[in-house]
Amino acid sequence: MKKMMAVLLLITMLFAMAAHAEEGAQEAAAQPLTGLTAAEIVANMGVGWNIGNTFDATGYKAPDISSHETSWGNPIVDMELIQRVKDAGFNSIRIPITWYQHVSDDGTYTIDPAFIARVKEVVDYCYACDLYVIINMHHENWLNVPELSTDYEAIGVQLGAMWRQIADAFADYDQHLIFEAMNEPRMAGTGLEWNGNKAGYAAVNYLNQIFVDVVRTEPKGYNGERALMIPGYAASSSYAAMNAITIPTVNGVEAENLIISVHCYSPYDFCLSDKQVDFNPNNRSHTNSIDSVFSNVEKLFLKKGIPVIIGETGATNTQNNTAAREAWAFYMGAKSTAYGVPIFIWDNGNNQISGGECHVWVRRQLHPKLRSQRTPYPYPTVVEQLMAGAASCERGSGLTEPEPIKSMLNGTVLWGDANGLKARQEWDNSYIQLSADAAWFAPGRTFAVIYSGSGAPKLVLDSAEKEQWWMPIDPDRIDNMADKKVAWFSVEKVLAAVAEYGIDDPAQLRNFCVISTDGMITTFEVSYIGK
């Protein structure tokens, strides 16, 4: 009897200990996330996922809030979907949101409380799964206008009024929630829509400052410390657009807890069109555009202590090229971890196999009776390889400085690769793009391109200030060099060529590119000779 009593007492004690432990765990989970820097938050975010073509759809029929969410063919977001995203290994969710259809037209830009409440509901789903969340302004037709570069002050009034309401509504959400100022602010419908110019860059910088002013001025709740994301022009990953970003200030000093937002669908022909079906991580022509984005992000932001998030990326399904997409996913996942830059996969729910916009990663709804829709992930191996790539290396392991490349001509190396970079005829994803520096164009210098192959290189320069994006230049001459060749371009010839397009100052030049002209070439070095 005593033995039985002892056993019962032990069981009672174990249950009490378990209950106490569970209560402690619940209390710990309930503790708000606070006191972190943006860099610390980004370090915890892992791989992210976009609820695309949902709250950013534009087919709203007032007053039915759900018609907005479903107007582009996706179902209502429920807790089960968010749990599937979490179960797949994603640690963060970006919710693209189009607000303008729910805004009053009386000049106050008042947002419908019912729509804010619905967005809050989905954010709450994410919080319940312990996910980081980004909310933004997406597909706003009053912002992405041809006149952005001239009407930015009036646009800023509406931007500020709307973000004031959003910031106040979500003020009590802790640091798991991130505000992203805009999606891809640009001069839509113009020839400069995706490349921009100096005035466009300045307009976006102005609007980013308005956004920071609104959230940080007399902040409520957690908004004083909340991580804020700002894009450059069109959220472009081009060096020129990223280099043009001005960090907003608060009380005269650079704003704290800021994150740079960049989009990267690279290589473009593989990720957003059906032109490139294969992806080989050992082929530099496939990986160079990805490598360049991460390298430029490191140079422009990470080395200055400014964290970066790639808010959109993904690879379209082209005729079920699953193996190629697996290879791309592993490569992007590994790059993300190696540089400490979270990537957010774009998912628009499109499960087709052609057209360049087939980006589905997580099934929006499960239908147990339909064989084609029973599984939670249409292409599970692609998701698995994304996560495997992200887990394949240590965070930040790719940030070490490479050994400087020595010039084969005793010149000053602008770009070099001992293994060479292959480029096909004319313009493709493998061309070399450098940010032009006026100091390169000193009188008496000569640019040199060392290469091999049947074709020949050409320089192509562009200028944002003059809105001239295509200025091709042929070499002065080509010399043989053992098993390679050298194409020479005198500075005088280069400046004379761009002068024909109205460029009279090297400081007006933006990009300095090397492309192939009439066949396949492998480039090893781009340099200049002369003091």
Which residues sit opposite 511 in a β-bridge?
Answer: 435, 462
Cα end-to-end span (Å), the chain: 99
Q: Buried b vs exposed e over 380-405: b needs ≥16 C-beta within 10 Å? A: eebbbbbbbbbeeeeeeebeeeeeee
Separation of alpha carbons 360 and 348, rounded Å: 6
Separation of alpha carbons 254 and 85, rounded Å: 35
Q: How many helices and strands, by DSSP H and E, does the chain display?
A: 13, 19
Residue with tokens 């789903």: 125
Q: Does 184 qualify as catalytic in the annotation? A: yes
Three-state secondary-structure class, residue 303 = helix
The pair of three-digit structure tokens given for residue 19, joined into one six-digit string: 């209950």
Separation of alpha carbons 447 and 472, rounded Å: 14
User: CB 470: neighbour CB atoms within 10 A?
Assistant: 10
Q: Do 398 and 387 form a contact (C-beta atoms < 8 A)?
A: no
Which one, of 144, 179, 134, 137, lies nearest residue 162 by Cα? 137
Order the strands of the 521-529 sheet from edge to edge. 412-423, 521-529, 446-453, 484-490, 477-481
Separation of alpha carbons 317 and 350, rounded Å: 9
In sign, the C-alpha dihedral spanning 68, 74, 80, 85 is: negative
CA 99 and chain centroid, separation: 21
Residue among 225, 312, 326, 525 flagged as catalytic: 312
The pair of three-digit structure tokens given for residue 121, joined into one six-digit string: 């509901």
Q: Do 472 and 517 form a contact (C-beta atoms < 8 A)?
A: no
Pairing of strands 92-95, 132-136: parallel
Phi, psi of 448 (to 5 degrees): -130, 135
Separation of alpha carbons 469 and 464, rounded Å: 7
Residue among 184, 225, 298, 326 flagged as catalytic: 184
CA 513 and chain centroid, separation: 22
The pair of three-digit structure tokens given for residue 104, joined into one six-digit string: 């009053």
- Positions annotated as catalytic residues are 184, 312
